[in-house]
């Protein structure tokens, strides 16, 4: 079993508990109180680098990163630094996140929010929208073609912008064929956790110019941002470097607006 398979198995167990506690109809009812979805694409298409700043306590590869007792406060620092969007990890077993983090961040900031999780069922998309998310992550490696398309369509129907994540050439071809507008290239292989800094540069030429590319993983500072912008990135998704930085507002500001 790969690392990704193990994570998804845990996600499905936790999802079953939530579904038993709150049936889909109950989650859908909460949509009435959710704020209208915010569109991140104009900012992400703008000149210069955009930053998707991540609230991330730990990871399978690095272990504990930061306690983050107040995710809303951290998100406020990100927003003040000019983050185009804020990613909130909601997977609990491996990443220490929760939907409560997303709700808290939504109450604190007005920028678009990404629910970062291993989404395998439509229930999770409804949860995301009800909690105030504006974007949702779909990981191509975790989904077959039929499920990927079904979830992509459902997310769009809910008003969510979809970040479709890829790791290799076949996955990139699948994302392009899907019509994904926002494609994230993750340098970390979720099946092995190995990082290849050349992944973005290798896959970017496979994506049509009218799509928006996001570089993910292995981004430590503005020098890394400049490299990925030169290779075609419009945005960077940064977690570890920001949660470990003593001045996240300033770190986001330094990574924002970088040109090739």
Is 231 a catalytic site residue? no
Q: For 12-134, list the strands marked E by DSSP.
A: 50-55, 58-59, 63-64, 85-89, 113-116
Locate tokens 């804020």: which residue? 86
Q: Which residues of 131-150 are buried (b: 16+ CB within 10 A; e: fewer)?
A: bbbbbbbbbbbbbeeeebbe
Which residue of the set 49, 50, 186, 189 is catalytic? 186
Which residue of the set 54, 127, 222, 231 is catalytic? 54
Which residue of the set 77, 91, 121, 216 is catalytic? 216
CB hemisphere CA count around 151 (13 angstroms): 26
Which residue of the set 77, 121, 127, 165 is catalytic? 165
Which residue of the set 49, 87, 189, 217 is catalytic? 217
Locate tokens 């109809």: which residue? 25
Which residue of the set 50, 56, 222, 240 is catalytic? 56
Is 121 a catalytic site residue? no
Is 189 a catalytic site residue? no
Which residue of the set 49, 59, 116, 222 is catalytic? 116
Q: Are strands 58-59 and 63-64 parallel, antiparallel or unpaired?
A: antiparallel
Neighbours of 191 (CB within 10 A): 15
Is 19 a catalytic site residue? no
- Which 3 state secondary structure label does DSSP give 215? strand
Q: For the chain, list the strands marked E by DSSP.
A: 50-55, 58-59, 63-64, 85-89, 113-116, 135-139, 161-166, 182-186, 212-216, 235-238
Is 169 a catalytic site residue? no
Is 216 a catalytic site residue? yes
Is 56 a catalytic site residue? yes
CA distance 33 to 86: 21
| Active-site annotation, residues | 54, 56, 116, 165, 186, 216-217
């Amino acid at each position: 079993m790969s690392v990704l398979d193990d994570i998804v198995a845990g996600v499905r167990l936790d999802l079953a508990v939530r579904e038993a506690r709150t049936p889909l109809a109950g989650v859908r009812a909460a949509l009435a109180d959710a704020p209208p979805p915010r569109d991140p694409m104009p900012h992400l298409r703008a000149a210069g680098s955009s930053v998707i700043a991540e609230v991330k306590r730990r990871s399978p590869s690095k272990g504990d990163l930061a306690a983050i007792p107040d995710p809303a406060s951290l998100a406020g620092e990100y927003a003040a630094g000019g983050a185009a969007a804020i990613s909130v990890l909601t997977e609990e077993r491996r990443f220490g996140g929760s939907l409560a983090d997303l709700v808290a961040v939504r109450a604190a900031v007005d920028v678009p929010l990404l629910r970062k999780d291993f989404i395998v069922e439509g229930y999770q998309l409804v949860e995301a929208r009800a909690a105030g998310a504006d974007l949702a992550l779909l990981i191509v490696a975790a989904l077959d073609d039929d499920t990927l398309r079904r979830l992509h369509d459902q997310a769009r129907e809910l008003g969510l912008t979809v970040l479709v994540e890829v790791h290799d050439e076949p996955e990139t071809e699948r994302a392009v064929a899907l019509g994904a507008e926002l494609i994230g290239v993750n340098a970390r292989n979720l099946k092995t956790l190995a990082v290849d800094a050349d992944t973005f540069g290798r896959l970017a030429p496979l994506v049509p110019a009218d799509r928006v590319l996001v570089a993910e993983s292995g981004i430590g500072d503005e020098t890394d941002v400049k490299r990925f912008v030169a290779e075609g990135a419009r945005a960077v998704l940064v977690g570890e470097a920001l949660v470990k930085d003593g001045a996240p507002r300033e770190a986001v500001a330094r990574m924002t607006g970088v040109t090739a």
